[in-house]
Amino acid sequence: MKDYPMKGCVLNRCVLNLIVLLILVCIASLASAQKDGPVLKQMTYIRAGTLIDGVSNSARRNVVITIRGNVISAVSDAASANILADATVIDLSQATVLPGLIDAHTHIFLQGEDPAEGGYDVQLLKYPLAFRAARATVSVRRAVEEGFTTLRDLETEGAGYGDVGIKMAIERGYIPGPRLFVSTRAISTTGGYPLEGYAPEIEVPKGAQLIDGPVEARKAAREQLDHGADWIKVYMTHRSWIGKNGELVSQPTLTVEELRAIVDETHGWGKKVACHAYGGEGMQRALDGGCDSIEHGLVLTDAQVAQMVRQGTWLCPTLNIYYTGWASADTPEGQRDRKRASEHEASFRRALKGGVKIAYGTDVGGFSWDDPIAADFSRMVDLGMTPMQAIQSATSKAAELLEMQGRIGVIAPGAYADVVAVAGDPLANVKVLENVGFVMKDGKIFKNDLSAKR
Ligand SMILES: [Zn+2]
């Protein structure tokens, strides 16, 4: 660029006046910034009978949570709390208060389709995108009403970049919903994702972006990241069936080279890769290719558990969905469905024992949003977690997966005011989390069936 030397400053009266005016404007705006600044932010106090803060391994009794605007500023014993006279006080002294819950595996663009009503295919073949988006707005509202104030949504199933739009609508306050981490279209290979089973002459839409070869793989990741993906979702296995020796077999999809191109690209953008993987060759490629989280993980061997611990790979198990919707026991599909559940149970126990990092995920959307999103808690406890471990998987652990530790999934100074409460003690009966009675997200109350406000 060419340099223009200054020929000397000529300050006429007009310029001087302008400078004085600018200084006055600056002073005025500084003064008003002070007036509207943190001092006058809405103060809210929550009296918590019991607090499970998401990180500590034991609960606290009789605590006051101080919230300034949308951020928690203090957590103190009720006896020593200094409550300002004109502030809002929410009395949850008969309830158990927790951080807003996190579901790290959802599908807001799916509705748990009944096969009798066309199942998955009808979504892509018959429903206009606006219809699917309208239903997604109901899904996200349901999530926050049930106490899930953050979701990692793992692909739109043919609805393109619709999740980026829903996230935008929530963030700008047009619709209620949780904090969303979105993954847009997802990636699989030719032969690796529905729609399937149509005449080869007919071109049908696919529920994921299909790639073949590392060049296409990297390009797909770039496109999705460019259009707003917070995470990249990859399908590393597809069909599954019972093998010759009675074992669960899963068809592998991407090669290690294809996956490495995606992981390398995504990590370069400072983002992470979630891999759907059931087991076998596809699982091994997922781990060797550097996936950050394994989704489902139905058949993890001891060696793979050790590899996950070594590499710091997360497991997002989505247990409960594998116990529902089984085909009848005398069909190959029905036998496979039962085998999936039994393998999953053993795999989850192995991962838990081996010290794999586990984040709460449900696959809701794969089942109806009218069913409780918190149903996985009791399944996790049945399979060996303590209630506190299960709760932390959906609070501080999931926050760590999302690299949001300290900001979400915890009740502590500096965290966003995402707060929920239940009647009863989830440490005695984790099922009470299926009935969340109070929800605050980002300092705003979405639901309060538990207390009167002052
Ligand atoms: Zn899923």
Claim: this prediction has a pTM higher than 0.75: yes
> What pLDDT score does 113 carry?
85
For ligand 1, the distance from its centroid to the CA atom of residue 84, given in whole angstroms, is: 46
For ligand 1, the distance from its centroid to the CA atom of residue 105, given in whole angstroms, is: 6
What is the spatial distance between Cα 342 and Cα 246, in angstroms, rounded to a whole number?
Answer: 12
Q: Give me the tens of pLDDT residue by residue for the chain, a chain 454 residues long.
A: 444 333 333 445 544 454 444 444 444 444 444 444 444 678 999 999 999 999 999 999 999 999 999 999 999 999 888 888 889 999 999 999 999 999 999 999 999 988 888 889 999 999 999 999 999 999 999 999 999 999 999 999 999 999 999 999 999 999 999 999 999 999 999 999 999 999 999 999 999 999 999 999 999 999 999 999 999 999 999 999 999 999 999 999 999 999 999 999 999 999 999 999 999 999 999 999 999 999 999 999 999 999 999 999 999 999 999 998 899 999 999 999 999 999 999 999 999 999 999 999 999 999 999 999 999 999 999 999 999 999 999 999 999 999 999 999 999 999 999 999 999 999 999 999 999 999 999 999 999 999 866 5
> What pLDDT score does 116 carry?
81
For ligand 1, the distance from its centroid to the CA atom of residue 127, given in whole angstroms, is: 20
Distances (CA, A) of 281 to 17, 57, 83, 245, 301: 75, 38, 59, 16, 12
For ligand 1, the distance from its centroid to the CA atom of residue 203, given in whole angstroms, is: 24
Contact at 8 Å (CB) between 178 and 170?
Answer: yes
Phi and psi at residue 358, to the nearest 5°: -120, 130
> What pLDDT score does 85 carry?
86
For ligand 1, the distance from its centroid to the CA atom of residue 141, given in whole angstroms, is: 19
Q: Write the CB contacts of 374 (distance below 8 Å, at least 6 apart in sequence).
A: 101, 146, 147, 433, 434, 436
> What pLDDT score does 238 carry?
98
> What pLDDT score does 454 carry?
58
What is the spatial distance between Cα 224 and Cα 90, in angstroms, rounded to a whole number?
Answer: 42
For ligand 1, the distance from its centroid to the CA atom of residue 164, given in whole angstroms, is: 17
Tokens representing 2 are: 């060419």
> Could you give the dihedral angle defined by the CA atoms of residues 148, 324, 360 and 291, in that order, rounded to the nearest 10 degrees?
-130
> What pLDDT score does 13 carry?
55
For ligand 1, the distance from its centroid to the CA atom of residue 233, given in whole angstroms, is: 10
Distances (CA, A) of 323 to 122, 248, 319, 344: 24, 16, 8, 10
Beta strands in 284-336 (DSSP E): 293-299, 314-316
Contact at 8 Å (CB) between 313 and 293?
Answer: yes
For ligand 1, the distance from its centroid to the CA atom of residue 321, given in whole angstroms, is: 10
For ligand 1, the distance from its centroid to the CA atom of residue 361, given in whole angstroms, is: 9
Tokens representing 187 are: 């990636």
What is the spatial distance between Cα 187 and Cα 321, in angstroms, rounded to a whole number?
Answer: 22
> What pLDDT score does 15 carry?
47
> What pLDDT score does 32 carry?
44
For ligand 1, the distance from its centroid to the CA atom of residue 163, given in whole angstroms, is: 14
For ligand 1, the distance from its centroid to the CA atom of residue 73, given in whole angstroms, is: 36
Beta strands in 83-217 (DSSP E): 88-99, 101-106, 148-153, 179-182, 187-189, 209-211
CA 447-449-453 angle, to 5 degrees, is: 85
